[in-house]
């Protein structure tokens, strides 16, 4: 995105792993963001913003032509379509999600694009039928919603062929800040963290990936960390990402009494953030994107 600066830091290199285990995952009721029109619009913008990060993860993990891949928590199918491009006509992608609304959107997009190598299933990843093990299991922003992420990783590892890969892209709110301080930015960040935490999210899921992989019986993964940041007037993309999250969370924020009625107008919040950050020529960051992969 030309509207934001990007800061990258390589934080580790993984090893070839063994895999063990099976277990369950969370219920869809724990998913605080829902699947409203506002949320699906937010996801579309976010998917475009972070697409290069996810693509880099998949390429480095070895997702390539001819592979069979399971996309966990596929939502509107953004990661599944990215994988479909990498595996080509000789490969296949199955996207699974518990939310019927999201699966309907994903199926519609696949039909309009006439993609024959991608399909979508509503349900639990553990129950998706497969005639053969997968070459890769991938997911974006899904482990943060699991009450026992390591157990989910164990379960998914059992779906892989020997040498297959687990690859996950997670978000992390640790490190959110503005400098010089921007009151509106900091308030939006803190509100988002408070209501997401109350809804069951691990707000530090990205930095917890190594411990979750270890608890699942997997070795330390290869990792990268990317922070999409704002720099004064060059902050529009990160301002839109944050304002979109607040728009999705606004009903919960109001219900919890965390904001005053009409305090936030979703239609103008992004511009307010841009104005305030520009006025102080501040550095702003809301979240970091961390990626991790390992072979089994």
| Number of residues that make up the chain | 296
Cα separation, 201 vs 187, whole angstroms: 19
Pairing of strands 92-97, 68-72: parallel
Domain chopping of the chain, boundaries: 5-295
- Tell me which residue of 154, 138, 150 sits closest to 293, measured CA to CA: 138
* Kind and range of the H or E run holding 282: none
What integer is the mean pLDDT of 262-285? 96
Query: Which of left, alpha, beta for 265 (phi over 0: left; psi -120 to 50: alpha)?
Result: beta
Q: At what angle do helices 236-255 and 269-280 cross, to 10 degrees?
A: 130
According to the model, what pLDDT value does residue 43 have? 87
Q: What's the CATH code, domain 5-295? A: 3.40.50.150
According to the model, what pLDDT value does residue 26 have? 38
What integer is the mean pLDDT of 136-146? 95
pLDDT digits (tens, 9 = 90+) for 43-86: 889 999 999 999 999 999 999 999 999 999 999 999 999 999 99
Alpha-carbon torsion angle 264, 267, 272, 275, nearest 10? 180
What integer is the mean pLDDT of 132-157? 94
Q: For the stretch 11-24, what's the b/e string if a residue is b when 16 or more beta carbons lie within 10 angstroms of its beta carbon?
A: eeebeebebeeeee
pTM, rounded to two decimals: 0.88
Question: Which 3-state string (H, E, C) describes 70-135?
Answer: EEECCCCCHHHHHHHHHHCCCCEEEEEECCHHHHHHHHHHHHHHCCCCEEEEECCHHHCCCCCCEE
Q: With a cut of 60, say whether residue 18 has pLDDT above it.
A: no
According to the model, what pLDDT value does residue 261 have? 85
Average pLDDT, the chain: 88
What integer is the mean pLDDT of 169-193? 97
């Amino acid at each position: 995105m030309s509207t934001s600066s990007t800061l990258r830091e390589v934080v580790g290199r993984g090893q070839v792993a063994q895999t063990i285990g099976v277990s369950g995952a969370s219920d869809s009721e724990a998913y605080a963001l829902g699947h409203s029109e506002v949320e699906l619009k937010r996801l579309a913008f976010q998917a475009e913003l972070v697409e290069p990060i996810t693509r880099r993860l998949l390429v480095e993990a070895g997702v390539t032509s001819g592979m069979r891949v399971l996309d966990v928590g596929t939502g509107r199918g953004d990661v599944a379509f990215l994988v479909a491009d990498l595996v080509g006509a000789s490969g296949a992608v199955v996207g699974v999600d518990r939310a019927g609304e999201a699966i309907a959107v994903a199926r519609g997009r696949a039909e309009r694009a006439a993609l024959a190598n991608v399909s979508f299933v509503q349900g639990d990843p553990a129950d998706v039928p497969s005639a053969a093990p997968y070459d890769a299991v991938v997911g974006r922003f899904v482990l943060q919603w699991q009450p026992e992420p390591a157990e989910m990783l164990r379960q998914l590892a059992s779906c892989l062929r020997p040498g297959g890969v687990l690859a996950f892209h997670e978000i992390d709110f640790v490190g959110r800040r503005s400098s010089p301080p921007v009151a509106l930015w900091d308030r939006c960040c803190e509100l988002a963290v408070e209501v997401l935490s109350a809804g069951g999210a691990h707000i530090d899921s990205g930095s917890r990936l190594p411990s979750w992989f270890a608890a699942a019986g997997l070795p330390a993964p290869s990792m990268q960390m990317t922070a999409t940041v704002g720099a004064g007037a060059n902050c529009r993309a990160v301002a839109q990402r944050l304002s979109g999250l607040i728009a999705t969370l606004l009903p919960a924020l109001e219900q919890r009494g965390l904001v005053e009625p009409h305090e936030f107008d979703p239609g103008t919040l992004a511009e307010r953030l841009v104005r305030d950050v520009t006025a102080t020529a501040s550095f702003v960051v809301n979240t970091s994107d961390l990626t991790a992969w390992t072979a089994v």
